[in-house]
A = this chain, B = another copy of it.
Amino acid sequence: VTAPVDESATGTARPTRRERVRAQTVEEIKAIARRHLAAEGSAALSLRAVARELGVVSSAVYRYFPSRDELLTALIVDAYEESGALVETADTACARDDILGRFRAAATALRTWAVANPSAYALLYGSPVPGYHAPPEQTIAPALRTTGVLVNVLADAFRLGLVAVDESIPAPASLTTELDRVAASLDFPIPAPVFARGLTAWAHLIGAITLDLFGHLQNVVADRAALFDHEVEVVARHVIGLRHPG
């Protein structure tokens, strides 16, 4: 029994030369596609244009992606994973009980990634691509990385008694029931009113980044990063009601 045979048989061992070259080509295709996305937008992403830049006939790309939509899906998954990983890393770098710092870090990481990759951000949080439907079984899990961090920060804050949510703003019973059901499925359950504040904070983050990247702050504010930081502070203190520990 020789080593190479074992490797190809198990599949989990280091890849063969062919497999490595193939993986490399897949990455190159995605890189080109990402660049086209940035230049033209998702609706204009075309397999033929990618093939042209790859220096290959258009039908060759079908060896790697069975259709244009599957390429799009791969790009979406990558974008969720990349931004999610950055948000996770930013959170992990903070002391666990520094809730305010963690919220700031996560929010800033998301915005920084979005500003650096506006077209990828648009792909995830902008208008749906016409005629394209993301397959949930591939995109949901990666999408949950970012929101997962936010939920964890919120749950830790609640656990530490650092969340001040006044119950004076009533929600209809139907909403509370729904939110309770979702919140109960989390690793560490949180009350519906707290969860609602988290959703509000999330909506604010996406709204602030969207207004900026999509040009609605033109002629209003030049230093958008400063505005964002300030807004994050306002949301952390007043929407979630975060307090410093001790």
Q: Please give the residue numbers on chain A whose beta carbons come within 8 Å of chain B beta carbons, in ascending order.
A: 40-44, 122, 125-131, 143, 169, 171-172, 174-175, 178-179, 182, 196-197, 199-200, 202-208, 210-211, 214-216, 220-223, 226-227, 230-231, 233-235, 237-239, 241
30 A–B pairs (Cβ distance < 8 Å), ordered by A: A41-B129, A41-B130, A42-B127, A42-B130, A43-B130, A44-B131, A122-B128, A125-B210, A125-B216, A128-B214, A143-B216, A169-B230, A169-B234, A169-B237, A175-B221, A175-B227, A178-B221, A182-B221, A196-B230, A196-B231, A196-B234, A200-B235, A203-B204, A203-B231, A206-B211, A206-B216, A207-B207, A210-B210, A238-B239, A238-B241
Number of copies: 2
Interface centre among A42, A178, A204 (most CB of B within 10 A): A204
Nearest chain B residue, comparing its CB with the CB of A214: B128
Residues of B close to A143: CB separation below 8 A: 216
Give Cα distance in the complex from A239 to B208, angstroms: 14
Contact between A175 and B226, CB atoms less than 8 A apart: yes
Residues of B close to A197: CB separation below 8 A: 234
Give Cα distance in the complex from A215 to B130, angstroms: 14
Given A207-B204, A215-B128, A230-B196, A223-B174 contact (CB < 8 Å): yes
Given A43-B41, A130-B41, A231-B199 contact (CB < 8 Å): yes
Contact between B130 and A127, CB atoms less than 8 A apart: no
Give Cα distance in the complex from A182 to B42, angstroms: 34
Give Cα distance in the complex from A150 to B200, angstroms: 19
Given A41-B129, A131-B44, A210-B125, A199-B171 contact (CB < 8 Å): no
Please tell me which one of the listed residues B41, B122, B207, B239 contacts residue A205 in the complex, with CB atoms under 8 A apart: B207
